[in-house]
Every structure is written in C-alpha cells, then in structure tokens.
Amino acid sequence: MRRLGCVACCLAVLAGGCGDSTGMSDMASPSPDAAKGIVDGAVFDHAAAVDAAMIGDLAAPPDLAVAMDLAAIPDVSVLVDLSPPSDLAPPPDLAPPPDLAPPPDLAPPPDLAPPPDLAPPPDLAPPPDLAPPPDLAPPPDLAPPPDLAPSCSDGMKNGKETDVDCGGGTCATCSDGKGCAAAADCGSGSCVGNLCKGTVLLLHMDGVNNAKVFPDSSPSKHVITVGGDAKVSTADSKFGGASGYFDGNGDFLGVADSPDWNLGTGDFTIDYWMRSANNVQNARMHALSFGNANGTNIDFDYNDKDQGGWGFWIYWNGGGGNLVRVNTVYTDNKWHHVALVRAGTLFTGYVDGKSIGSMNYAPALNVSGNFNRYIGLGATGSWPYLGYLDELRILKGVARWTMNFTPPDAAY
C-alpha cells in the first residue's frame, strides 16, 4: 500500500497535483510528526500518507480505487507525450563546394634596383637683371596712301575716260573701234554709235630697223607693198621709235585697191609727218599720190618750182589745176605735220596745224580701181620722195580739222 502511495505521490508530482495538500488531506488526516517534504513548493506529508494507508481500511475505499485507477495513468502519457518527435526531414544534401582553383604561383617580385644616388640640385644662378625695355619710338607718320585717282595709264576705264585710258578730254583720243561719247573722244574725230570710226589707213611705220614691212593698223588692214628699198628706220621717227625711210631712188609703198578709196564728195582727211633735207629747188618729190597725173589725183608735191614759185603744193583733179600752194620750203630737215582736209566742198591744206590755203571744189574724188595709190612717189611713177615719213593716216567721211589746230603729240 505504501508503494502505491508513493506511486500516487509521484504521479501527483508528475501531474503537478502532489502539492495539492487539500486533495490529499481529504484522503487521510496527516500525523503531526510525519516527515514532510516539499513538492512543488508545497509541504507534502509522506508519513501521513503512509499512515493513512497502513492504518486505514485496507479495503480501499472505492473512492480511492477510483482515485488510484491506474488505468487512468495512460492518460498521463497523453499529457506528457514522450513519443519521439516526428521524423524530421533530413537536411538537403548540400552540394559540395566547388573545387577552388589553386591560386597562381605569383612571380616573386623583381629585385628592385636601389634608387640612384640623386645628384644634389645645381646651384641655380640668380636670374640676370633684366634690362628695362627700351623706350619705343613713336610710330612714324605714315605717308598718305598714293593717289588712286584715275589715270590715263592704269589699264582701266575710269574717270572721264570713254574707253581704257582714252577719251573724256583728259586722256589721249581713242582709236577706231573704241568707245566714245563725242567726236573729240576719238583720234579720227568721228564718234558713230559711241564707237570711234573713220580710219581707213593708218601706218605707224614702226618696227625693226630696215624691215620692209608696213602693216596697216586701221580696221581695213589694207595690204601695203614695198617698192624699191623703202624700209623701216629707227634712225629717226616722230612717234614709236621708227619711221619709213625713202632714199629718193625708186622707193615707195603701194596701197592695194579698195572701195575705201572712193572718197566721193564726202569729207575726208589725209595727214602725216615728214622730215626731209632735200632742200633743192625743183628737186621735185611727192610724199603721197592717189590718182592719175592728168585725171583725178591727189598729190603732195614738194620743191616744185612750176606755176608761180618754189614751194609746197597740194592739188587734186586736173593735174594741178586745183590746188593750194605756199612758197614755203618745208624740206629743212625738221619734222612737220601736214594735212589736207575736205569739209563739204572746201579743201584746206595745213602745215604744222596752220592753214596754207583753201579752195572750193565740188566734184567727187574716186581713186579706186585703175588708179595708182603711192606713198613716196608721184602719181605718174615719177618724183620719188627723199626723207622720212611717219604716222600716215586717211580718214574717210571725217573732216578732222576745220581750223588751225595743235598738231597731235602722240601716235594715233
């Protein structure tokens, strides 16, 4: 019975009910001397419990049997479930760590050369004393830019010029084919449709010494033939450094036929420069002749003593029947400008810009076709010229001068 009581006690202890002195005291009355213990903080009197079992009716009161029903013990197992914990899922197989590549063999550090002995820094020379900047001279007064005013030689048509470096009254006159605003802009004295016109023959007689070439610089560009040994001479000239030289022995220039030489009844101008030392009376010579001796002709006749005196004659038509004549000798070895101008019906001869006489003559003067056109020879093929001629020009339709004038001071 005691053992039973202990078991009950233990069960009570396990169940937490051993300390319930109130319950136990209901089963038996405790002895005052009974050993006492402390279960779960409460006094448990074992002796009293044993005594109660020993002393009491062994026939356990049915109530105790109930209380001690061991069959109820299994319930305790319910309270304290000692069953092993449910099978825990095994931990997942952990993949083994990858094989780590072994670290590369590190090359041993190179032996570092010991640092060179650094030379001590040189003693730096002190900076030189800088000379003070020189006093700068003030800039010189700059000359004003050159005068860019238009000029007659700048290769440009500017200022009042009517063409490049000509015309406008401030430059030389313009040659044929160049621009003009008035007759005075043109060397020909003829401005038609704002172009200089009128020149049908122009011989500058320039070139290499002794050359037998005399090109016509007019727009007509007539063919010039050389008779005898007429030639270009640089020994003397009025313009251009050369002139034509005629030795008085069969020399002349022939001018090819052309309608240009039918001057009709219109205006015209013939002019040239001459220099001759053939100052001999009746040493007749013709500088120019267009026509026939006893028909229509235009002649410039020097040193002719016939018909009233020794002098210079200009005549046309009728073999000297119509003429202007002066008893002045121009064969003085000096340059003279000579001109014959027909204006309307009035013929006027000029020497050095001064009139030597005039005469009216109305008939036409046509010398194209079967006529001679000579320079340096008479119309009959006689009376060759001796001396120099230069800058010979014929204008058709233009009366270049109608009063005394200053001879040109430059080539046309």
By CB under 5 A, name the binding residues for Ca ion. Answer: 154, 156, 158, 165, 204-206, 237, 239-240, 243, 390
Measure Cα distances from 29 to 22, 55, 221 in Å.
Answer: 11, 11, 179
- State in angstroms the smallest separation of the CB of 264 from Ca ion: 30
Number of H helices, E strands in the chain: 5, 21
Q: Looking at beta carbons only, is 68 or 164 nearer to Ca ion?
A: 164
What tokens were used for 365? Answer: 């003067």
Q: Looking at beta carbons only, is 243 or 355 nearer to Ca ion?
A: 243
Cα–Cα distance measured from residue 356 to residue 347, given in angstroms and rounded to the nearest whole number: 11
- State in angstroms the smallest separation of the CB of 347 from Ca ion: 27
Give kind and range of the element (H or E) at residue 199.
Answer: strand 199-203
- Which residue's CB comes closest to Ca ion? 240
- State in angstroms the smallest separation of the CB of 185 from Ca ion: 13
Q: Looking at beta carbons only, is 126 or 155 nearer to Ca ion?
A: 155
Q: Looking at beta carbons only, is 217 or 243 nearer to Ca ion?
A: 243
- State in angstroms the smallest separation of the CB of 293 from Ca ion: 29
Q: Looking at beta carbons only, is 27 or 389 nearer to Ca ion?
A: 389
- State in angstroms the smallest separation of the CB of 201 from Ca ion: 14
DSSP 155: S
* Closest alpha carbon to 388 in 245, 278, 254: 245
Cα–Cα distance measured from residue 96 to residue 271, given in angstroms and rounded to the nearest whole number: 131
Cα–Cα distance measured from residue 313 to residue 243, given in angstroms and rounded to the nearest whole number: 23
Burial class (CB in 10 A: 0-12, 13-18, 19+), 412: buried
Q: Looking at beta carbons only, is 24 or 205 nearer to Ca ion?
A: 205
- State in angstroms the smallest separation of the CB of 239 from Ca ion: 5
Q: Looking at beta carbons only, is 243 or 297 nearer to Ca ion?
A: 243
* Closest alpha carbon to 284 in 309, 305, 307, 315: 305
DSSP letters for 359-385: EE--S-EE--SS-EEEESS-TTS-S--
Burial class (CB in 10 A: 0-12, 13-18, 19+), 306: exposed
- State in angstroms the smallest separation of the CB of 243 from Ca ion: 5
Question: Do residues 227 and 250 make contact, with C-beta atoms less than 8 angstroms apart?
Answer: yes
DSSP 211: -
- State in angstroms the smallest separation of the CB of 244 from Ca ion: 8
Q: Looking at beta carbons only, is 214 or 316 nearer to Ca ion?
A: 214
